[in-house]
Structure 1
Amino acid sequence: MTATESRTAAPPDAPRASVPAQPGPDALPLLPEDPPRVGEFWLRGRLGANAAGYLYAAADETGRGAVVAMMTEGSADDASARDRFVRAVDELPEESVLAHNDSDDDDLALWVALGPLREDDGSSSAADERQIAERRGEDVLSAVLMDRVPQIGRVRGPDFRHYWENRRRPGLFRIWPLPWPAVLRPASRLALILSLLTMAIIMALAVLIAWLLFRNAPEVDPGPIIPDPSGTATVTITPTTPPPGSTGPGSPAPSGSPTSGTPTTTGPGPGPGTPNSPGTPVDPADRF
């Protein structure tokens, strides 16, 4: 149980002139599972939590402070718990509810921003406003959890427990507009700009070095033979002109030659070791 859960359940509007104002506890850092923003309020830290939801310290774009109560994923999936949250918000004073999301958003967790909170200048009135807003947020979450319902009769049997109490992660939320880069501080923005410039300079240097290394590289000659889809490669051969008086495979034979009109095979004939040549025994295996 957190510090905010252990406080007394006194009415939020009760007079407190005789009680010295104590500054509220510092908010704990947000976890990666916490939303950075709900509605128009940027979350600054956790103020408290129970099985029904979380209390966050928040502020809007103008710096107006608020306390945001948001349901967990377990309670947000229970229709009865959502109804109790809405009824508890409706019972709060109208001027204390700064904003809330629509109860018809069945896929989102319900939340409410409570305030108004002035800037924490160390005065007792600022501390009182913060404590009142936190107590109202606790009342809303307690109504969902039903842990302040008075006991009727004697206590018998096992204690009551909601089936969703183990699902304590923050409920689903929608962020729009996106939190980046509006949530960044000026120092963070400067660091981000410098890192982007450094990356751009490194990439430009890499391209320049690659160009200097390969600008004088000789071209590959001849080029690689790339086969076509049929699996054959096409090679272009440039014909050469035979010298005068020579007979080549592509030139016509002279008229009157005994070989005119008869194809001529140029080259050495079959050797003695060539199959089917004269004088070579026929291998029985070559018959088939």
Structure 2
Amino acid sequence: MTATESHTEVRPAEAPEQTPARVIPDALPLMPEDPPRVGSFWLRGRLGANAAGYLYVASDETGQDAVVAMMAEGSADDAAARDRFVTAVDELPGDAVLAHNDGDDDDLALWVAIGPIRADDGSSAASDERLLAERRGEDVLSAVLMDRIPHLGRFRGPDFLHYWEGRRRPGLFRIWPLPWPNALRAASRWALVLALITMAIIMALAVFLAWLLFRNAEPLEPEPVIPTPTSTATVTVTPTTPPPNTGSPTMSPSPVPTPTSVPTTGIPTNLPSTPGTPGGDPGDKF
């Protein structure tokens, strides 16, 4: 082998890389205005939102995952938008609609739970079911917004805009039963129990200290009026100064003053009658 010959290294063939399963996107945390629960589904996070409503990731009491599409405040107040939401839900496959509320609830926002979604085991099948449910929820909200209707003709004039586009808060909802304390985690439950026990100990200590302070307190003077069954009141008065010590067990009664006669002056009634005063009545002047 000459020096000019090149040396090539023979490397073993590398195994083909396995395509990893698609990662399910994480949901955004819920906002204070978001409902913690709709129907029998607990909401865990936001998946998306537009002017027509919101997409949430949720699960029921049995652990069944679903995607919940819920109307916004503005679209829920529009009768035509509600009709489009109901029509879009009716067009979904029967096995895809897990639950929904009644369209006759005019004071509540319409929502629908879309699934089924198997547990996230890292497989591509679970990811596909999740993405399919999200796409169906987006289709429902897009039907309300009418943003996927093909345009006919050329674009002229201002763009179309719903009058309720600015009202993007979640629509009204009703929770029953109440989410507390079912929505709490195990750590939150222990924190709640410890807080209640601490509050009970503090209240018991406050009552004990009050008993120690006021157990030897003197009674109020004068004592309160005690009503009797005969509709009379008995008042017990405690004298503030003791009587003088006279050395005798009895005391002489005090003299009772006698009334004195006071002369009174008045108009005499036995005067003889005169011609100017008929009948002798001094009030008769005419």
Please tell me the TM-score bracket, short chain as reference. Answer: 0.7 to 0.9
What residue is the counterpart of 1:188 in the other structure? 188
| 1:141 matched to 2:141 | yes
What's the offset of the Cα at 1:23?
A: 2.1
What's the offset of the Cα at 1:25?
A: 1.6
CA distance in 2, matches of 1:51, 1:72: 7
The TM-score normalised by the length of structure 1 is 0.73
- Residue 76 of structure 2 contacts residue 82 of structure 2 at CA under 8 Å; is this kept in 1? yes
What residue is the counterpart of 1:48 in the other structure? 48
Q: Which amino acid aligns with 1:182?
A: N
What's the offset of the Cα at 1:217?
A: 2.0
Aligned residues: 228
Q: Structure 1 29/154 Cα, relative in aligned 2: closer, same or farther at 3 Å? A: same
What residue is the counterpart of 1:200 in the other structure? 200
- Provide the identity percentage: 71
What residue is the counterpart of 2:213 in the other structure? 213
What residue is the counterpart of 1:38 in the other structure? 38
> Residue deviations 1:203-223, cap 9 Å, x none?
000000111011112234345
CA distance in 2, matches of 1:237, 1:142: 87
CA distance in 1, matches of 2:251, 2:112: 105
Q: Helix, strand or coil: the match of 1:207?
A: helix
What residue is the counterpart of 1:177 in the other structure? 177
Q: Which amino acid aligns with 1:193?
A: V
What's the offset of the Cα at 1:105?
A: 0.7
CA RMSD of aligned residues (A): 2.7
| 1:25 matched to 2:25 | yes
Q: Structure 1 263/166 Cα, relative in aligned 2: closer, same or farther at 3 Å? A: same
What residue is the counterpart of 2:269 in the other structure? none
CA distance in 1, matches of 2:256, 2:72: 96
| 1:95 matched to 2:101 | no
Q: Helix, strand or coil: the match of 1:47?
A: strand
What residue is the counterpart of 2:108 in the other structure? 108
CA distance in 2, matches of 1:91, 1:209: 69
> Residue deviations 1:40-94, cap 9 Å, x none?
1000000000000000000000000000000001000000000000111111111
Structure possessing the higher radius of gyration over alpha carbons: 2
What residue is the counterpart of 2:273 in the other structure? none
What's the offset of the Cα at 1:262?
A: 3.8
Q: Helix, strand or coil: the match of 2:209?
A: helix
CA distance in 2, matches of 1:136, 1:236: 86
CA distance in 1, matches of 2:122, 2:238: 94
CA distance in 1, matches of 2:109, 2:211: 55
- The unaligned stretches of length 5 or more in structure 1 are 1-18, 226-233, 254-260, 265-288
What residue is the counterpart of 2:166 in the other structure? 166
What's the offset of the Cα at 1:252?
A: 4.4
CA distance in 2, matches of 1:134, 1:45: 13
Q: Structure 1 194/151 Cα, relative in aligned 2: closer, same or farther at 3 Å? A: same
More displaced stretch, 133-142 vs 181-190: 181-190
CA distance in 2, matches of 1:178, 1:35: 11
- Residue 21 of structure 1 contacts residue 128 of structure 1 at CA under 8 Å; is this kept in 2? no
CA distance in 2, matches of 1:224, 1:67: 69
Q: Helix, strand or coil: the match of 1:209?
A: helix
Q: Helix, strand or coil: the match of 1:120?
A: coil
Q: Which amino acid aligns with 1:44?
A: R
Q: Structure 1 22/245 Cα, relative in aligned 2: closer, same or farther at 3 Å? A: closer
Q: Structure 1 262/136 Cα, relative in aligned 2: closer, same or farther at 3 Å? A: closer
What's the offset of the Cα at 1:237?
A: 8.9
